[in-house]
Amino acid sequence: MPRKGIGVYKAKNGTWFFKAWIFVPDDDGGEGRWKGTTRRGFHTSIEARRVRRQFIEQSELDRAAHERRPARERITVVELIDRYLAEATSMGRLSVKTLFDYRNYFDSYIVPHLGAVPADELTRNNIADWQLTLSERGSVKSGGPLAANTIRLARAPLNGALKYAIRQGLIDSNPMTGVSPPRKPRKIPANWIPDQARHFLAMHEGERLYPVWAFLMGTGVRIGELVSLTWDNVDLDERRVRIQQFTSTLGYDVVPSSSKSRDAVRTIDIDDHLVTILDEQRTQQAAESPAAGYKSSAYVFTKSRGGPYHPQYLSKVLGRISTEAGLPRLTAHGLRHTSATLMLASGVPPKVAAERLGHADAMLFINLYSHVTPTMQREAAALLGSSLFD
């Protein structure tokens, strides 16, 4: 060990300074080291000696604490992932759907590239190289480039695991900090204009799935909200529907899930057309229920033999029949975007539209549908000009 200090000195300008050796702990779990330090600008030698003594005493305390610190446990990224998901599952920190997606991202995009790396040796360069590899040949299916949005999604669970590692004292800092995600390209959600939406509904009026398409466009609900809607949440007299039951798909399995956001549980007003459509839907179910083998349920939208629809089945059918109708191909989520676009284009205030669709953040909703707002801006300008100058 070096000498703890080598004295107090007077500078040429009349002030005093000291030189001392202090112990610097190693944050990575090493032995630490001694470092020479100099402090200047003291008015008297007494003041310089006092501060020097404090430095040396604190250095001794740091060294003693460092020597008592137990050796840090070292685990690989794949071991860290398993612990993180186990803790998230036991504590209920993540929904069933999110846990399923996180495990898929880990297995597909993270473990093959970073799984064997010790968690405490993961660096920013590792993260940057990993993102670059995914952008060049990260696709599991084709071996080609992975979409920027998928890379951004894959970052989320890795970031969560590294934050967990910090809480557990396995690492000191998050190497993802300072590594920017790939830029997400601006993409306008696919949707239909009013004429296309009316044309589609007119073509399929009277068919079994017509109530499904009409309800999706007329309310803007998510497909997981539609398939789990039950009659006890429908009040046709008050023309209201309560959205409070949700489902998600894990692969092809449909499971109950928690709400997507804090505003997902909501009450939606419906117009006279949807009231009539739902009333006819209930009448049709009552006529079908006596049939042998009918699966009785409380769901609003059911198959001919009873029981709810599968979300992926509805999206698949919609994609096929929209193409057959000569319209842009949409999934069930595309009808939700259509509903949002039609509301904004019709002058519905963005905040009201966001609440109707169950968006937690109205500003994010406005940004998502900013392609609609230019028309609203022109209308606002015309109305304001009329008030001022006409």
Mean pLDDT of the chain: 87
Strands (E), the chain: 5-10, 16-24, 33-42, 234-235, 240-243, 246-250, 253-257, 266-269
Residue 350: the pLDDT is 82
Residue 70's pLDDT is: 59
pTM: 0.69
Q: Which residues pair with 35 in a beta bridge?
A: 22
Q: How far apart are the first and last CA of the chain?
A: 89
pLDDT of residue 354: 87
**Residue 37, C-beta contacts closer than 8 angstroms, at least 6 positions apart:** 19, 20, 21, 22, 55
Give the integer Cα–Cα distance in Å for 25 and 6: 21
Nearest Cα to 164, choosing from 259, 91, 65, 115? Answer: 91
Query: What single letter denotes the amino acid at residue 101?
Result: D
Among 3-12, 85-94, 198-207, 227-236, the range scoring the smallest mean pLDDT is 3-12
Q: For residue 1, what are the β-bridge partners?
A: none
Q: Three-state SS for 23?
A: strand
| Alpha-carbon gap, residue 248 to 227, rounded angstroms | 10
Is the pLDDT reported for residue 1 higher than 60?
Answer: no
Asked if 318 and 335 count as a contact pair (C-beta separation under 8 A), the reply is: yes
